[in-house]
């Protein structure tokens, strides 16, 4: 009885927070199919707003594909670099290691919007301006400080004897990383990958600056461009449909990976 009384306020608080966070998404879902003046769905409930979204310029399929390509490239680049970076910071001792790590974390204090113009110039010189690969590289750069930090604490949570045993058995550093240590930090990898995917999938300002071809626009940029109708009237129905399409993959992915996501954070917390 006592434990129930202790847990009841926690459950009430958690339930209240869940309602607060889920209400905007539920409201957008209802608004996307409800009749509204000035939208494609003016009479009765239906999916007219989704038809507007599907038929906008290159089509929602193309914009979803652009977002998926950028997000998956960002996840791949982030995981590869952060695994090697976190492994080096956690397992090797070299002069200036902690200073270099602090400099890496200090990038988090720089507003990333201030870096977009120099990055635009750099990508233009490299021939990557306006490409999905260039956009993914920029988004990867913004994710690396957190990702390297996360992978470092994940590797540090592994007993050092595990790596030493692999080296004694004849594994090199790379082979020990690939076959022994990477499987051991799977929750950390999923946490980093999920963060990178969500950031890339939902990012708006970076493609706004770097992508000029509307056919290469990711879905957030396409939804923002679609909002404006004739005479500057906002199509709220199509906008809400775009919000639902944007949010659905993120919600499903998080629900599927939430157990590993929590374990990834807990490994670092227990180490600290």
DSSP summary character for residue 38: T
* Confidence (pLDDT) at 83: 92
* Confidence (pLDDT) at 267: 59
Instruction: Judge contact between 226 and 239, C-beta under 8 A.
Output: yes
pLDDT digits (tens, 9 = 90+) for 153-203: 888 888 777 777 777 777 777 777 887 888 888 888 988 999 999 999 999
Helix, strand, or coil (residue 88): helix
pLDDT digits (tens, 9 = 90+) for 225-268: 876 655 567 777 778 888 888 888 888 888 887 776 666 555 55
Within a 10 A sphere around the Cβ of 23, how many other Cβ atoms? 10
Please name each of the domains of the chain with its CATH number.
Answer: 3-270 (1.10.3720.10)
Instruction: Judge contact between 67 and 201, C-beta under 8 A.
Output: yes
pTM of the model: 0.84
pLDDT of 37 strictly over 90: no
Q: Which residue has the tokens 């994710």?
A: 143
Which residues, 6 or more positions from 56, have their beta carbon under 8 angstroms from its beta carbon? Answer: 222, 226, 238
């Amino acid at each position: 009885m006592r434990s129930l009384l202790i847990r009841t306020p926690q459950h009430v608080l958690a339930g209240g927070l869940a309602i607060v966070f889920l209400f905007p998404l539920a409201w957008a879902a209802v608004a996307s199919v409800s009749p509204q003046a000035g939208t494609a769905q003016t009479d009765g409930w239906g999916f007219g707003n989704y038809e507007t979204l599907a038929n906008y310029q290159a089509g929602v399929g193309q914009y979803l594909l652009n977002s998926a390509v950028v997000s998956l490239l960002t996840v791949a680049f982030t995981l590869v670099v952060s695994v090697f970076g976190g492994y080096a910071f956690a397992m090797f001792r070299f002069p200036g290691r902690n200073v270099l790590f602090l400099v890496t974390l200090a990038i988090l204090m720089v507003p990333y919007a201030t870096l977009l113009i120099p990055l635009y110039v750099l990508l233009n010189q490299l021939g990557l301006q306006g490409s999905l690969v260039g956009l993914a590289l920029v988004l990867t750069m913004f994710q690396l400080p957190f990702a390297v930090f996360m992978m470092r604490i994940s590797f540090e949570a592994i007993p050092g004897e595990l790596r030493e045993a692999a080296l004694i058995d004849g594994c090199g550093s790379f082979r020990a990383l690939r076959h022994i240590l990477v499987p051991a930090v799977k929750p950390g990898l999923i946490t980093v990958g999920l963060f990178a995917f969500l950031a890339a999938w939902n990012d708006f300002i970076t493609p706004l600056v770097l992508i000029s071809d509307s056919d290469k626009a990711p879905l957030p940029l396409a939804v923002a461009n679609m909002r404006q109708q004739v005479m500057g009237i906002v199509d709220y129905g199509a906008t809400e449909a775009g919000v639902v399409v944007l949010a659905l993959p993120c919600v499903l992915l998080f629900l599927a990976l939430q157990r590993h996501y929590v374990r990834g954070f807990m490994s670092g917390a227990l180490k600290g």
